[in-house]
């Protein structure tokens, strides 16, 4: 008989290999990928803020005509410079329109407040020198942030031959460099010709502002200016003499009244 032998059983299959866990460091490295949307949002916000700032700067330049006040010798773009203002009669105007309607250019003298002593002196000096200062074709205007009513009263009382411009928002006053912070107007003078060239821009007292315009007119060939200024000075002196005389008369009258009272109280 043939003896049957059993074949040996095959060896068991090896257990499946275990998957290695990802290193902790790698997980941390991949984490920033989840933060990318937040970074993009932040960048977009910065771009939007920068765009808004640019728009605001452009608007400011448009309303004022310049980011910084112009200097003597520079040329400005008249259209849109200083925004819209108003005459004491209530007419809406712009600097560009005033220059266009003039023969040679515009003089703007600024003053803090209508009908105050210093401003009255300044306005009257320009009044008394009006003919010689306008001999070359320059148009003169007073400029303040007063109301039309206040400036009309000022103009009428002092018999001023030129218009007074009202700039409550100080847009033109700021554009030419005479706005005080936080509010108010610095006394000064600004002269611009038909081409937008700044012939003068200077702060100063009542007489000094007239002297600035005198220099401009002389340069333009107005020989009558000296005679006009002499006339203005004579009128100023006469005005002071009249005030002194009036004070003397009032004092004498008061003394006479006191003497009369004393005599009435004396027993006969």
The larger pLDDT score, comparing residue 114 to residue 37, is at 114
* Average pLDDT taken over every residue of the chain: 80
The larger pLDDT score, comparing residue 59 to residue 224, is at 224
Please pick, among 108, 119, 124, 143, the residue that the annotation labels catalytic.
119
Q: What φ, ψ does residue 139 adopt, rounded to 5°?
A: -100, 135
Is residue 17 scored above 80 in pLDDT? no
Mean pLDDT in residue range 49-75: 62
Q: Per the structure block, which two tokens stand in for 109? A: 């003298």
pLDDT at 251: 72
The larger pLDDT score, comparing residue 237 to residue 111, is at 111
Express each pLDDT in 207-257 by its tens digit: 999 999 999 999 887 655 666 556 655 665 565 566 557 566 767 777 777
Please state, in angstroms and as integers, the Cα–Cα distance from residue 57 to each residue in 67, 83, 186, 190, following that order.
8, 15, 25, 24
Instruction: Please report which confidence band the pLDDT of residue 6 belongs to, taking 50, 70 and 90 as the band edges.
Output: low
Domain 84-235 has CATH 3.40.1350.10: no
Is 166 one of the catalytic residues? no
pLDDT at 55: 40
Domain boundaries defined on the chain: 84-235
Is residue 34 scored above 90 in pLDDT? no
pLDDT at 64: 41
Instruction: Please report which confidence band the pLDDT of residue 144 belongs to, taking 50, 70 and 90 as the band edges.
Output: very high
Least confident of 33-47, 171-185, 192-206: 33-47
pLDDT at 258: 72
pLDDT at 105: 98
């Amino acid at each position: 008989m043939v003896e049957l032998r059993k074949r040996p059983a095959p060896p068991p299959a090896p257990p499946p290999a275990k998957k290695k866990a990802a290193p902790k460091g790698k997980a941390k490295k991949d984490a920033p990928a989840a933060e990318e949307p937040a970074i993009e949002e932040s960048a977009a916000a910065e771009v939007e803020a920068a765009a808004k700032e640019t728009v605001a700067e452009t608007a400011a330049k448009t309303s004022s005509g310049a980011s910084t006040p112009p200097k003597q010798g520079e040329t400005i773009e008249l259209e849109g410079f200083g925004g819209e203002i108003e005459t004491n009669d209530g007419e809406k105007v712009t600097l560009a329109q005033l220059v266009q309607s003039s023969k040679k250019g515009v003089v703007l003298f600024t003053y803090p407040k209508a009908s105050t002593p210093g401003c009255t002196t300044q306005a009257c000096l320009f009044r008394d020198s009006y003919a010689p200062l306008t001999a070359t074709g320059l148009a003169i205007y007073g400029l303040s942030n007063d109301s039309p009513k206040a400036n009309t009263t000022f103009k009428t009382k002092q018999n001023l031959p030129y218009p007074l411009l009202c700039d409550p928002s100080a847009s033109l006053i700021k554009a030419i460099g005479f706005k005080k912070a936080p509010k108010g107007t610095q006394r000064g003078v600004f002269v611009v010709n038909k081409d937008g060239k700044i012939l003068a821009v200077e702060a100063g007292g009542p007489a000094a502002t007239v002297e600035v315009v005198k220099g401009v007119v002389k340069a333009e060939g107005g020989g009558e200016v000296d005679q006009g200024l002499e006339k203005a000075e004579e009128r100023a002196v006469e005005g002071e003499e009249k005030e002194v005389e009036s004070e003397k008369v009032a004092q004498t009258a008061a003394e006479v009244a006191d003497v009369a009272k004393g005599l009435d109280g004396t027993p006969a």
